[in-house]
Amino acid sequence: MRDRKLWIGAFVTVLTGFVALVFQGGWEWVQGKLSDPPGLTAYSSGLIGCNPRYLDAPLAELHKQIKTIDHRGVHIPTADDWPSLPVTLQTSTPQAIVVTGVKVSVLSTRPLPEHGSVVDAECGGGMDERPFDVDLTADPVSVKPSVERTGQGKVIQGHDFPFKVASGDPEQFTFNIRNVAQDARFAITFSWVSDGEPGSTRLDNDGHGYRVMNLPKNLPRYSKGEVGRGKPAS
């Protein structure tokens, strides 16, 4: 009987230690999960801009598609008009994330198309932004804060990274695609740090990349009014 009590006591002691060890490890795991740095969420609705667009269709087809033409086509940067990619950064917790930099990667390039049409866009209004100029012809791709000049000749240099982002303090960035050599697709990756832990967030349009191209030299070019009429102005 005494041996049985000793055996039960030893078993309870071992079991208690095991449970304590498991609980401690589990709590450390829970604490680790709770203390993991919050991720950075990046959202973009896609390229926008008052710039020409390439469409893989002749004028007769474009006339039939006039109601949807403003939401289609490949953006073409020119000296006066260039496409922009607006990106909103935010996080779901009050804990601030420091966004330390951004990298633009060219995913693919190919020759300019030899068939289709170029249509000029109609301009709209502007918005507040953190503007950056992107040069896809540079290697590596150049991403620099935009320089603005006022009517009085004053030069305003845009702010560069880092930026602080929190749930109540999101940031709006705009990447102006000013230079592109061919028909290209690109992605944007943000680097950030939260609670001493580094991370990165990538925008690549669901793996398709964001597509832009240089102005094709030998394709017909129409205004929006000409597309609406279905024939070039005489």
Mean pLDDT in residue range 6-16: 48
Q: Which residue has the higher pLDDT, 119 or 25?
A: 119
Whether residue 51 is contained in a domain is answered as: yes
Domain housing 1: 1-35
First-last CA distance in the chain: 113
Residues 86 and 194 in one domain: yes
Q: Is the pLDDT of residue 31 over 80?
A: no
Whether residue 217 is contained in a domain is answered as: yes
Among positive and negative, which fits the CA dihedral 213, 160, 191, 203?
Answer: negative
Residues 136 and 171 in one domain: yes
Strand 117-119 and strand 221-222: pairing? parallel
Residues 30 and 106 in one domain: no
Residues 126 and 155 in one domain: yes
Mean pLDDT in residue range 57-70: 83
Residues 96 and 211 in one domain: yes
CA distance 227 to 214: 21
Whether residue 234 is contained in a domain is answered as: no
Residues 22 and 46 in one domain: no
Residues 141 and 61 in one domain: yes
Mean pLDDT in residue range 162-174: 89
Whether residue 218 is contained in a domain is answered as: yes
Residues 182 and 131 in one domain: yes
pTM, to two decimals: 0.72
Residues 143 and 210 in one domain: yes
Residues 183 and 170 in one domain: yes
pLDDT at 123: 64
Residues 23 and 113 in one domain: no
pLDDT in tens, 65-121: 877 777 789 999 988 888 999 999 988 777 889 999 999 999 999 999 999 999 987
Residues 88 and 173 in one domain: yes
pLDDT at 92: 78
In total, how many domains does the chain have?
Answer: 2
Whether residue 54 is contained in a domain is answered as: yes
